[in-house]
Amino acid sequence: MPVKRLLWALLIAMLAVQGAAAYEVRFSTINDMMTFNEIDDDLYTFSLFFEFHRKGKRIRLFEHAFTDSRNGLRFDETYLSIGSNLPKFHGWQPELEIGALYVGEGLFGEDAQNAVHRAIGNKQLELPYRRPGHIHGTLRLAATRGFSLDPRYSLQTRVELFTAPEFKTYATGGIRLTANPHRDLKILLGVGLRVSDVAFDPLEPWIDGFGPTYEVGFRLWDHVEVAWDYNAFGTEMQHVNLSYIWSPNAPRPGR
């Protein structure tokens, strides 16, 4: 598949360019296992993220796998983007990110999902991909502002607008509290709102136009982050997030 080969080539190029110089590298996976969703192992079932950060610049490659067992179809959303921090404004840190989205058979999709199913003893989920695939441009605007309550507690507010014309658009806003009870442990609590508009017919029935979002998690040694979230995709479903963050300046255990 030409698009898949191109995406793999872009990922390898990103690793080659950024590997030696990246200030922070993040790998994340999101799954709907170990949750209390009414619909089991369907809709946005899992995601993979690769992020590279250096001096306010970032490159991101990530993929969401979507399945609709009721209507017998699947598609992947594969995103590649570059972004940068903009000059601060009255305490806010704005961000701008542009990129491309491919909707169709992505890099991981069905193969990765069924590999996990085999590992945990679940049944295989084989659904036909919606074809043909299609490409959209993407734009993300965001702004964050942090407040230090005392040495152990901080608040961060964040607003974000994302659009992929003729596919979907959403806006989110929220507050996240970070508690640092121990030098190697951070506890994360977040609450917010999400507004969504969908132009892609197979996705539209499953996305709620307006709803709350929640997040509960923890981070160990500034390297490992585990979190539970609700409605992050606008589907009113829960997901579990696992991230590994590497940075040459991050503290090591016990330091």
Domains of the chain, each with CATH number or no CATH? 2-141+218-246 (2.40.160)
**Please, which residues have CB within 8 angstroms of residue 59's CB and are 6 or more apart in sequence?**
14, 18, 51, 52, 81, 82, 83
Task: Give the pLDDT of residue 8.
Answer: 57
Whole-model pTM: value is 0.84
Paired tokens of 91: 């305490």
Counting Cα atoms < 13 Å in the Cβ hemisphere of 217 gives 20
Do the Cβ atoms of 91 and 112 come closer than 8 Å? no
What mean pLDDT do residues 109-128 have? 74
Model pLDDT for residues 1-57, shown as the tens digit of each residue: 455 555 555 555 555 544 444 456 677 777 665 556 566 667 888 888 888 888 888
What does each C-alpha distance from 55 to 24, 71, 83, 250 come to in angstroms? 10, 45, 11, 15
The H or E element that residue 50 is part of is: strand 43-54
Nearest to 10 by CA among 98, 100, 75: 100
Counting Cα atoms < 13 Å in the Cβ hemisphere of 152 gives 8
